[in-house]
Chains A and B, each alone.
Chain A
Amino acid sequence: GAVVSQHPSRVICKSGTSVKIECRSLDFQATTMFWYRQFPKQSLMLMATSNEGSKATYEQGVEKDKFLINHASLTLSTLTVTSAHPEDSSFYICSAREGTDNEKLFFGSGTQLSVL
C-alpha cells in the first residue's frame, strides 16, 4: 500500500529552539496533507491542512506563526515548530491524501517532540 514517511520519529530540543518535521509521500502524489497533534490521553487533533503550492489552513486555536507549514511539492510537507516551549511537547502525526478521495488517506508513523 501507499507509504508516508515521517521524520524524525523522536526529537528532544531545548526551549526556544525550532524543530522541523518532514512528511513525505513515497509512492504517490499528495495534493493535500494534514498535520495532527496528540497530547497524552487526549484525542488526535487536526492542526492544519496544507495544499501543495498554497498557504495552509489552520484549525481554530492553532497559532500559524508558531507552527509553520510548507507544502512546496506534491510529495513533501514540513511542519516547523518555532521557538518551542515545554507545552509544545506532544506527538505530531502527518497524513497525506492521494487525490481528492478521503478514503485514500495515509498516515506517517508520528514524531514525539520533547522540549526541555
Chain B
Amino acid sequence: GNSVTQMEGPVTLSEEAFLTINCTYTATGYPSLFWYVQYPGEGLQLLLKATKADDKGSNKGFEATYRKETTSFHLEKGSVQVSDSAVYFCALRGNQGGKLIFGQGTELSVKP
C-alpha cells in the first residue's frame, strides 16, 4: 500500500541555516504530494503541494520538488528563522483521491 517515510527528528538548526527535511514515498500511480506544518498549540496547516512529477511547490520560502524517479519530495528552505520552529509532516494522496497518508513528522527547532 501507499506509505510515506520522512527523516527522524528532532532537527536543530541555527537561525539562517539551510534546511532539508527528507521525504520519500511508496505509491502506485501518480499521487499528489503535500507538506503540512504544525506550529506549537495549533492544528496542521497545508504548507505546499505538488500534483505531478517535476512540479515544485513553494510557500513562505519553503520549496519541495516532486521527483518521481527517486520517489522523493524533500522540503528545503535556504535560511530558516526561529518562527519556523514546528513539526513538519510529509503526506500523499493517491491519484484516485482518497485518504491522506502521512509520514511520522519531523520536529524542527531553530535557535537564535
Say whether A associates with B: yes
Interface size of A in residues (CB-CB distance below 8 Å): 24
Given the interface contacts A43-B103, A43-B104, does A102 sit within 8 Å of B45 by beta carbon?
no
A92 CB within 8 Å of chain B:
no
Q: Is A87 engaged at the interface, CB distance under 8 Å to the other chain? A: no
B55 at the A interface (CB under 8 A): no
Q: How many residues of B contact A (CB 8 A)?
A: 21
Q: How far is the CB of B94 from chain A (nearest CB, A)?
A: 11
- Cβ < 8 Å to B, chain A residues 1-52: 1, 4, 6, 9, 34, 36, 38, 41-46, 49
Known contacts A103-B46, A106-B43; A49/B102 CB under 8 A: no
Smallest Cβ-Cβ distance to B39: which chain A residue:
A109
The reply to whether the CB of B110 lies closer than 8 angstroms to some CB of chain A is no
Contact of B43 among A46, A103, A109 (CB under 8 A): A109
| In the complex, chain A residues 70-116 whose Cβ is within 8 Å of any chain B Cβ | 93, 95, 102-103, 105-110
Q: A102: which of B4, B42, B97 is its contact (CB, 8 Å)?
A: B97
Q: Which residue of B lies closest to A91 (CB)?
A: B105
Are A108 and B97 interface neighbours, CB within 8 A? Answer: no
CB of B89 within 8 A of CB of A44, answer: yes
Contact partners of B44 in chain A: CB under 8 A:
93, 95, 107
Minimum CB–CB distance from A101 to chain B (whole Å) comes to: 11
Query: Which of B36, B100, B103: most chain A Cβ within 10 A?
Result: B100
Judging by beta carbons under 8 Å apart, are A41 and B104 in contact? Answer: yes
Q: Which residues of A contact B36 (CB under 8 A)?
A: 107
- Tell me the B8-42 residues at the A interface (CB within 8 Å): 8, 36, 38, 41-42
CB distance from A46 to the nearest CB of B (A): 5
| B105: A residues at CB distance < 8 A | 38, 44
Residue pair B43, A107 in contact (C-beta under 8 Å):
yes
Contacts of A44 in B (CB 8 A): 89, 102-105
- Cβ contact within 8 Å between A107 and B93: no
Closest 5 CB pairs of A and B: A107-B43, A44-B102, A107-B44, A43-B104, A109-B43
